[in-house]
A and B are shown apart, each in its own frame.
Chain A
Amino acid sequence: MSNAIELCGVSKSFGDTLAVSNLDLQIPHGSLCGFLGPNGAGKSTTIRMIMSIIYGNSGTVRVFGTTALAAKDRIGYLPEERGVYRKMKVGAFIEYIARLKGMRGSMLRKKVKDWLEKIELPDIHNKRCEELSKGMQQKVQFLAAIIHDPELIILDEPFTGLDPVNAKVIGKIIDELHQDGRTILFSTHVLPQAEQICDRIVMIDRGLKVLDGSISDIKRQFDPRVIQVEPVDPTNDFSNLDGIASVDEMDRDGCVNLRLEDDADATDILRKITEQTPVRGIQIVRPTLDEIFIEQVARNRGTEAASAAREELTHA
């Protein structure tokens, strides 16, 4: 599969701050890729470089084998900073952006109306943008990004500020566009969201790429480090077993998470637990993206930074 986006050794600094460091990235055609990382990781800077809005200090950026400038009509982009012409009518605004993207013809107005119905905003064509709520404006901007049927869609934090119902509407459209063969790259700092809809993720932290691959590959890369047990005897002590690093407190359902030492074999410990005490249930817990991310941060920047990242993700 050829790549829609290719970044090779791209770096970008603002004054003394290194925003993106020697980033290599390939986004294959037709993939739905989550671009993940905490706030300030360098996601928006990377996306702006992909879009040729800003330029890196070094490295090459290629979109459809050329630059985004040359292929702008084939790209749809929803920036992180949302903006509309406040006094302009919604229909006119979307048509204006569509025309900037090379769309022409008498069918444009009908297309805009059809799409407004699809995103569940059928009656706002003649309303001024300033009359819309923030969430409605965001949906209008999402529409402006995809109205010209782009092959590549880049969405910077598309769900921020949307309520769950509207997030679901946009999520459904993103999924349909993906099914239709479009390449989609969307950034988010809400990792579980990406885990649900992406087939591939790229994770960066402080300008450095820390993970890149399909979700299943990534999860496979990371050995399960947690075994969840529901013991028949709640007083049973698991800490004396070899290979157990720590034991979490029992949760309300009577389950206990056992965290394994780095070199421990999960299958072996599973067997030992069942030999020691009767259990109602037992499973090896696959790591979530949050956990994988925190582990990566810990590897890159130490445990203190990992705790800070955990805190950030909890509040995201």
Chain B
Amino acid sequence: MTKAFLFGAIIMPILMMALFIVVVPLMMESNKTPLRGTIAVVAPDDVIAELEHQLGQSKGIGDEIIEQLPVLLQADPIATAMLASDSITEVELVSATFDEIDDIKQQVRLKELAGLIVVPEKLVETWDTEERFELFIPTSFSPNHTDLLKSATSKSIVDARLRRLGHVPTDIRDLLRRPRARASRLTEDGKEAIDNEVARRIIPLAFMMLLWIATFTSGNYLLTTTIEEKGNKVMEVLLSAISPLQLLGGKILGQAGVSAVILGMYGSAAIAGLIAFALFDLIPIFHLVLFAIYFVMAYFMIATIMAAVGSAVTELRDAQSLMGPIMLLMIVPLAIWPILAEHPNGAIATVTSVIPPLIPFVMIIRITSSTEPVMMWEIILSIVIGFASVIAMVWMCARIFRIGVLMLGKPPNLLELIRWVKQG
């Protein structure tokens, strides 16, 4: 067990989990640090009154953003969980005049005052002006608190304008609030499911990418270690102790264990993240079970191909030419995932679900996208075809491996590989 493995497979995910469970809540907690102190305000009286009211309400900047978000995102628990915060202010506002501005600035510099807000009368009279309100704060002032003051002042000016015209600002704001929609999907079994647009788009991609990265990282490791063992001539020493098939089996199973640990650790980090944001119910347990099944399928497909390619060449750059067609095929799920997620039972999805190396990647997108449920018989068929092709691929790759591991010199082309399969 190397230090790199310990770091990559165990320490990194633990750090990620710590980030989700400890650091993120702490960061959110830091938003709650109250704004304390006395702030001088040079502004019309009605603006000061509105500002006192605004700061008294003590709404956080996160709530401001949420209010301004499109309705779609307001309904999304991920966005609201990320942004929600409730800053508290314990601020005393003191009215001042324009003549006192220079003295007050000095007091702000010396931190005797928490800040100074200057609002020109013209800014309240009309929106049609180049004038701006000004905020003077000490160098150590928190960015969150700066945003809070800016936002509260801006809002107070608007509210003061409304009151001068005889309106009640809260009424106007309520009237302008755009109505929200709740989309429910009516399933064929008579149930209604609340739609979650963000999750619907992100989760299938996340599952497929996790599968893709986990299998290709392991496959790539098998490719490079096999080439290395051939290159540094340790292969023959190994083959004097075990048969090529035992070697291939050992490498694949060993790496499977490593991948399972890595996937388990990163998966736990992801689940910790979901739990931290109270979103775990977005992923049914059944999907996790299917993910495990498709992971095993994808891993054995990719790992055997990579090990066979590694055994057939003596240098990594020779492997690139053999890997070209395979990679071209494996890019397909990455390219078509939006189509699959949008139409999980469409023609493209159905066809790609029976092409062996694509099966696990395509199926995991189809299953986790909540647009339409995939029929159970399709899931079972994909698992049967997938594992049957795993057996065929392991058989073929083992034959290539047996001949390839002791071959040196010019790398074989595709026709020669087929000949090896027949010979092996």
- Residues of A whose CB lies within 8 Å of any CB of B are 48, 51-54, 69, 72, 75, 77, 79, 81-86, 97, 100-101, 141, 144
Contact = CB atoms under 8 A, between A and B. Distances in A.
B234 interface: yes
Nearest to B2: A87
B235 A83 contact: yes
B233 A82 contact: yes
B238 A79 contact: no
B236 interface: yes
A133 to B, nearest CB: 16
13 contacts: A48-B236, A53-B236, A53-B406, A72-B240, A72-B241, A77-B237, A79-B236, A79-B240, A81-B233, A83-B235, A83-B236, A100-B241, A100-B242
B232 A97 contact: no
A100 B229 CA distance: 16
A173 to B, nearest CB: 18
Contact of B237 (A54, A69, A97): A97
Nearest to A85: B234
Given A53-B406, A54-B406, A85 B241 contact: no
A97 B241 contact: yes
A83 B234 CA distance: 4
Contact of A141 (B237, B238, B242, B243): B237
Given A72-B242, A83-B232, A144 B237 contact: yes
A100 B406 CA distance: 19
A69 B243 CA distance: 7
Contacts of B406: 48, 53-54
Given A52-B243, A86-B232, 9 more contacts: A48-B406, A51-B240, A53-B239, A53-B240, A79-B236, A79-B237, A83-B235, A85-B232, A100-B241
Contacts of B240: 51, 53, 72, 75, 77, 79
Contacts of B229: 83
Interface of B: 229, 232-243, 406
A79 B238 CA distance: 10
A179 to B, nearest CB: 24
Contacts of A82: 233
Nearest to A144: B237
A144 B236 CA distance: 13
B11 to A, nearest CB: 20
Contacts of A72: 240-242
B406 to A, nearest CB: 7
B111 to A, nearest CB: 57
Nearest to A54: B406
A84 B234 contact: yes
A187 to B, nearest CB: 14
What 3 A-B pairs come out closest when comparing CB atoms?
A83-B233, A83-B234, A100-B241
Per DSSP, chain A at the interface is loop
B144 to A, nearest CB: 48
Nearest to B408: A81
A101 B246 CA distance: 13
Contacts of A144: 237
B222 to A, nearest CB: 15
Contacts of B232: 83-86
A208 to B, nearest CB: 23
Nearest to A87: B2
Contacts of A83: 229, 232-237
A48 B406 CA distance: 10
Contacts of A81: 233, 236
A304 to B, nearest CB: 29
A81 B242 CA distance: 17
A66 B165 CA distance: 105
A81 B408 CA distance: 11
Nearest to A141: B237
A53 B80 CA distance: 63
A130 to B, nearest CB: 10
A75 B237 CA distance: 12
Contacts of B234: 83-85
A54 B423 CA distance: 13
A79 B241 contact: no
A272 to B, nearest CB: 57
B242 A79 contact: no
A29 B232 CA distance: 33
A75 to B, nearest CB: 7
Nearest to B243: A69
A78 B127 CA distance: 89
A245 B59 CA distance: 117
B233 A79 contact: yes
Contacts of A51: 239-240
- Which of B235, B238, B241, B243 has the most chain A CB atoms closer than 10 A to its own CB? B241
A48 B232 CA distance: 18
Contacts of B238: 100
Nearest to A82: B233
Contacts of B239: 51, 53
A85 B233 CA distance: 9
Contacts of A86: 232
Contacts of B233: 79, 81-83
Contacts of B242: 72, 100
A157 to B, nearest CB: 13
A54 B240 CA distance: 11
A54 B235 CA distance: 13
A188 to B, nearest CB: 18
Contacts of A54: 406
A54 B406 CA distance: 9
Contacts of A100: 238, 241-242
- Which of B234, B238, B239, B406 has the most chain A CB atoms closer than 10 A to its own CB? B234
A305 to B, nearest CB: 26
- Which of A75, A82, A83 has the most chain B CB atoms closer than 10 A to its own CB? A83
Nearest to B241: A100
A52 B242 CA distance: 10
Nearest to A130: B232
A14 B156 CA distance: 90
A52 B406 CA distance: 12
